[in-house]
Amino acid sequence: MPFDSPKRIVCREWNGYNKNIKEKQEVHTMKQYVVDAFTDKVFAGNPAAVCVMDEWLSDEVMMKITVENNLSETAFSVKEGDKYHLRWFTPGGEIDLCGHATLGTAYVITTFVEPQLQEVVFTTMSGILRVKKVGDLFELDFPAYELEKIPVIDEMEEVLGVRPVEAFMARDMLCVLESEEQVRNLQPDMTKMLQLDGLLVHVTAKGSEADCVSRSFAPKLNVPEDPVCGSGHCHIVPYWLDTLGVEKVEAYQASRRGGTLYCRREGDRIVMAGKAALFSQAEIFF
Active site residues: 73
DSSP E strands in the chain: the ranges are: 8-16, 19-27, 29-37, 46-53, 73-80, 83-90, 93-95, 119-124, 127-134, 137-143, 148-150, 166-169, 173-176, 201-206, 212-218, 223-226, 248-253, 259-266, 269-274, 276-285
CA-CA distance, 35 to 32, in Å (whole number)? Answer: 10
CA-CA distance, 204 to 215, in Å (whole number)? Answer: 7
The neighbouring-strand residues paired with 276 are 37
Greatest distance between any 2 Cα atoms in the chain: 77
Residue 231 phi/psi, 5° resolution? -65, -30
CA-CA distance, 261 to 50, in Å (whole number)? Answer: 20
Q: Show Cβ contacts of residue 18 under 8 Å, excluding neighbours closer than 6 positions.
A: none
**What SS3 state is found at 73?**
strand
CA-CA distance, 258 to 266, in Å (whole number)? Answer: 26
